[in-house]
Amino acid sequence: MSDTIAHAPLRWPVNGQSLPPKIEQDVKDYLARSPMPPEREREFRERVREIYERILYSPEEPVGVVTAQSLSEPATQMTMRTYHFAGTAGIQVTLGLPRMLEIFDARKDPRTPTMKVYIKKEYQTLDHVKRIAENIKDIRAKDVISSVLIDMTDVLVKCRLNLPKLQSLEVDPERLSKLLKIRNTAVTVEGDALMVRPKKKDITVLHKLKYTVLESHVKGIKDISQVVVSKEDGEWVINTLGSNLKKVFELEGVDYTRTRSNNIFEVYDVLGIEAGREAIVRETAFTMDEQGLVIDVRYILLLADTMCVEGGIKPIGRYGISGQKASPLVRASFEETKKHITAAAVKGERDPFVGTVENIMVNQVAPIGTGAYELVGRIPGKK
Amino acid sequence: MKDKADIYFNGKRIGEAAQPDLYVANVRKKRRMGLLSIQLNAVYYPEFREVRISTDAGRVRRPLIIVENGKSRLTEAVRAKVDAGQADWSFLVAHGIVEYLDAEEEENALVALREDQIGKDHTHVEIDPISLLGLSAGLIPYPEYNRGDRINYGAKMVGQSIGVPTGNYLLRTDTKFNALAYPQVPLVETKTSKVLSEFPEGQNIVIAVGCYDGYNMEDAVILNKSSIQRGLARSFYFRTYETLKKRYWGGQEDAIQIPEPGIKGFRGEDAYKDLDADGIINPMSFVTSDSVLVGKISPLRFLTTEEFASDIENKRETSVTIKHGERGLVDTIFISETTDADQLFKIRIRDARQPELGDKFASRHGQKGVVGLLVNQEDMPFTGRGVVPDIIFNPHAIPSRMTIGQLLEIIAAKTGALNGETVDASAFDHMKDEDIRKLLKRLGFRDDGKEVLYDGRTGKAFTVRIYVGISFYMKLDHMVTDKIHARSRGPVTLLTKQPTEGRAKRGGLRIGEMEQQCLIGHGAALTLKERFDSDKAFMPVCTKCGMIATHDVAKNRTFCSICKESSIQWVETSYAFKLTLDEIKSMGVYPNVQVEEL
Ligand SMILES: [Zn+2]
């Protein structure tokens, strides 16, 4: 530990190195806007550097705790107001504390997955966009059926089709019978009547079959229950409730370079861990921003990095970061004490006492801040 | 949809009704005729097609006057009877003029606020608009001028006020109660407060809405020290201690006497010097923390044959002492007997409480504050007529909370004080605010209630006019003397060797999880360690097996009881960690502590 610290630069701009590019650019922009004599300019640059150096974190400063506090304190201010109409789209999204929990617990199935589908330039006409939207929306049989009847004598479920609706969806009744994939049944169409016969002549299954028929998938992408086309920043976009990036990317006309989902796990699955990390940052920032809470992005970045370092998305909490810490004592102090102690005993684990929490537990100086160094004095002339 | 409505009786289904509204109407009619209990309530929920009839206990019910065909059943004829004293409340209830509704039956009722507002659909009319409010909320003047939540807070604080608890409190032996020294009936009354005029809960004091060097920021108030010396908000705190002279199995009994030296738990001669020869303290003695009130010795619980031999060693001291942190004068001593014929001693302590920095005060409008400064009268601002306020209240407390009722109360009380009469401010039924202002103008004051004030320290007039009037203020049962607490050293708990918790146990102030994180966040590792040194302990650890070794103080020898011959290393940890190790061992897990020298 001491080796790495001793050789690491204590201040970022060392040996005449300049300030970070972003700040350098800001200084240049400012000077361009309000020029000043060279003497003043040098003074100004000196001052900027001074402030920058003051703002830098000191070595061994516990950024983790500061991050936790900086994120948690505003989170306590979050109102219990859960739902809100996000944006112009009019799609309800989970927000506030429940959404924060979803993100940090890395839930695989968020309550309201949504997508924002961008459309390529060549397809930017309302007709095109609408057609794409129609291909996205999940159409179930119940959307094209006007009435259902259970025929006990012939043992079948008889449905009356809404032909104009079918036509508008560009599905002809013949194709519909092939689109409906219902197990152990035969589907036939006569005029506007759709007949579903169970292969075994058993009237007891009919009632259940009725609902299976109504809920069966016809067209579009499964589980995308709402599609709203709107114009945002001068271009047509499609907002959806329900998310399936993979299928949407396959559609013609979809700009897959910008289309995004708020389902973090899905983003990670489809686009990889970097995109997943980006999604965590974006979603957290959005949730905080929506509640009017301001925090520095770097805290979110640190948190997202912690969740993603190992290449997958790890939740914070019992089964994630807190539950996988190296020290068995720290794990035991968090939750499920008995479980962790027994497990550690069975494995014969050794706690090296290098972290903060375990050292506080035994009332030793924690290796953080002022406690990170041990001074060994060497008196000249003595060994 | 069900074609018949279900009928539930106290939650149990008992039948169905084809015409539920008629059915419910019939039930109510019979109740009003006295054929059914007046405690029965019936409701019909059309949306569920359910009739619910309740007769069970615990329903909150309130009385309303019955309205029929747009006419109140409390007719002129009935009124005349009431006025003549021929009809009382039970007459009205028995004759179907007034009935009690529970929360459910209220769902079917349309209640008019006043008799002149009765329309064709109304089923009831309020007895008086103020009966909308409960007892505490009914004490608030001009409630309809305040925001609803302030009424709630106000009602809650009325409940915490120090006033006249009962008419006979000097004869009572409640464990603990407060009484106001000079209670006053509010100048701005309500119908409820008129009923409770024998039990007022505060005093009418002169209030100025302004600042005084910022000592009333964040809801604090500034009090006139001279007013306090004249008895403003002075109260008494009573506490009764009691003990029994018990008799035990085997003919032994407690003794009430001054304990002799040598008894287990003897407190030293000095502790008993206030006791009279009979072992009971004298009235009017001043007592403080841990003073003995009644000297008592009890026999030890479990006696063995040998212990019977010596008499004095079989006794322990069980005197009654003042609670830690309390003090006062011995007010009254009651000696009586229980039904088991044991002698019963009750000693009531009285402590006079002058308002001091940190005591809590509140008006009746949910405006509470803590005393921030006591100012001598000569330094307080004064009006042109020489009136000096008793309290200076911060104007910032008004706009965000919108307690306009309080502002009205202040000028209404001002007119009341000048006229020498009380002002009625009952909910929805009082003098209009313009009229109050007109009255104030007629009395020779500005109609906005503002006056020119002069700074008592400089004699200069303030450049702004200041809102001055009279307000009814309550002293709340949250006084610093009951709460102030500090500790440098003191008792620790047996199990963890950590400091005790709470003022009564002379406890420490906990550095909790969040405070700990705060110190970590600042990188103050050594400060943090020092803070957690309260249960610092040194434990000998066997370097061979890693178990806690034994230290024999008598022989000054440290050894491992497992390894016998091995080197021992002393380690500094928190005692809590040593305890954790013991607990881990109790799980059957072997915690091997590996120590190395730095
Ligand atoms: Zn050993």
| Domain B151-234+356-475 architecture | Beta Barrel (2.40)
Buried-exposed string A241-274: b where 16+ CB fall within 10 A, e elsewhere: bbbbbebbeebebbbbeebbbbbbbbbbebbebe
Q: In this predicted structure, what is the pLDDT of residue A3? A: 39
Buried-exposed string B404-421: b where 16+ CB fall within 10 A, e elsewhere: bbbbbbbbbbbbbbeeee
How many CB pairs lie under 8 A apart between chains A and B? 74
Q: In this predicted structure, what is the pLDDT of residue A282? A: 94
B520, B577, B598: residue with CB nearest A356: B520
Report the CATH fold assignment for A139-219: Gyrase A; domain 2 (3.30.1360)
Q: Does A341 touch chain B (CB under 8 A)?
A: yes
Q: Answer yes or no: is pLDDT of B305 > 90.
A: no
Interface test with B, best of A299, A334, A358, A363 (most B CBs within 10 A): A363
A369:B524 CB<8 A: yes
Q: In this predicted structure, what is the pLDDT of residue A6? A: 41
Q: How far apart are CA B78 and CA A153, in angstroms?
A: 73
**Residues of B whose CB is below 8 A from A360:** 516, 528, 532
Token pair 């011959």: residue:
B565
User: In 3D, which of B125, B116, B155 has the Cα closest to residue B138?
Assistant: B155
Cα diameter, chain B: 107
Written as tens digits, the pLDDT of chain A (383 aa) is 333 444 444 444 444 556 788 888 899 999 999 999 999 999 998 898 888 888 878 888 899 999 999 988 888 888 665 555 555 456 778 888 888 889 998 888 898 899 999 999 988 888 888 888 888 888 888 888 888 888 777 888 888 888 888 887 777 777 777 777 777 777 888 878 888 888 877 777 787 888 888 888 888 888 888 888 888 888 999 988 889 999 899 988 899 999 999 999 999 999 999 999 999 999 999 988 888 888 889 899 999 999 999 999 999 877 778 777 888 998 888 888 889 999 999 999 999 888 888 999 999 999 998 888 877 777 787 65
A363:B522 CB<8 A: no
Q: In this predicted structure, what is the pLDDT of residue B263? A: 83
**DSSP for B214-272, written as a single string:** TTT-TT-EEEEHHHHHTTTT-EEEEEEEEEEE-B-TTS-B-EESPPPTTSBT---GGGG
Q: Does A322 touch chain B (CB under 8 A)?
A: no
CA B443 to each of CA B69, B412, B532: distance values in angstroms, whole numbers, following the listed order: 48, 12, 67
ipTM: 0.74
Cα A327 to ligand 1 centre (Å): 24
A61, A68, A362: residue with CB nearest B574: A362
Mean pLDDT of B296-320: 70
Q: In this predicted structure, what is the pLDDT of residue A49? A: 85
Q: In this predicted structure, what is the pLDDT of residue A318? A: 77
Q: How far apart are CA A83 and CA B577, in angstroms?
A: 46
In the structure encoding, which two tokens stand for residue B157, read together? 């604080």
B529, B572, B587: residue with CB nearest A341: B587
Q: What are phi and psi of A152, to 5 degrees?
A: -75, -35
Q: Answer yes or no: is pLDDT of B463 > 50.
A: yes
A365:B525 CB<8 A: yes
Q: Does A2 touch chain B (CB under 8 A)?
A: no
A377 to chain B, minimum CA–CA distance in Å? Answer: 14
Q: Does A56 touch chain B (CB under 8 A)?
A: no
Q: Does A72 touch chain B (CB under 8 A)?
A: no
Q: In this predicted structure, what is the pLDDT of residue A2? A: 39
Q: Answer yes or no: is pLDDT of B309 > 60.
A: no
**Which residues of B are part of the catalytic machinery?**
219
**Half-sphere exposure (Cβ direction) of A220: Cα atoms closer than 13 Å:** 26
Q: How far apart are CA A128 and CA B533, in angstroms?
A: 72
**Chain B residue at shortest CA distance from A59:** B523
Top-tier CATH class for A322-367: mainly alpha
What is the arrangement of strands in the sheet containing B296-299, beginning at the earlier edge strand? B255-256, B296-299, B315-317
Q: What are phi and psi of B520, to 5 degrees?
A: -60, -45
Q: Which residue has the higher pLDDT, B64 or A164?
A: B64
Mean pLDDT of B480-503: 92
> What is the band of B380 on the pLDDT scale with cuts at 50, 70, 90?
very high
Q: Answer yes or no: is pLDDT of B565 > 80.
A: no
Mean pLDDT of B578-587: 92
Domains of chain A, residue spans: 1-61, 63-113+262-309, 139-219, 322-367
Q: What are phi and psi of B461, to 5 degrees?
A: -75, 145
CA B202 to each of CA A34, B151, B305, B362: distance values in angstroms, whole numbers, following the listed order: 66, 17, 62, 9
From-to residues of CATH 3.90.1800.10 in chain B: 487-598
Proportion of chain B above pLDDT 90, given as a percent: 77
In the structure encoding, which two tokens stand for residue A266, read together? 């899905």
Averaged pLDDT score across all residues of chain B:
91
CATH superfamily of B487-598: RNA polymerase alpha subunit dimerisation domain (3.90.1800.10)
CATH number attached to the domain at B236-353: 2.40.50.150
Q: What are phi and psi of A134, to 5 degrees?
A: -60, -35
Task: Write the secondary structure of B336-365 as one string of H (helix), E (strand) and C (coil).
Answer: EECCCCCEEEEEEEEEEECCCCCCEEEECC
Report the CATH fold assignment for A63-113+262-309: PTS-regulatory domain, PRD (1.10.1790)
From-to residues of CATH 2.40.50.150 in chain B: 236-353
Helix (H, G, I), strand (E, B) or coil at B590: coil
From-to residues of CATH 2.40.270.10 in chain B: 151-234+356-475
Q: Does A342 touch chain B (CB under 8 A)?
A: yes
What are residue B177's DSSP bridge partners? Answer: B238
Cα B585 to ligand 1 centre (Å): 15
Mean pLDDT of B488-501: 93
Q: Which residue has the higher pLDDT, B410 or A381?
A: B410
What are residue B281's DSSP bridge partners? Answer: B275
A363:B580 CB<8 A: no
Q: Answer yes or no: is pLDDT of B313 > 70.
A: no
pTM of the model: 0.74
pLDDT in tens, B171-203: 999 999 999 999 999 999 999 999 999 999 999
Q: How far apart are CA A350 and CA B535, in angstroms?
A: 25
**Chain B residue at shortest CA distance from A361:** B577
Cα B329 to ligand 1 centre (Å): 61
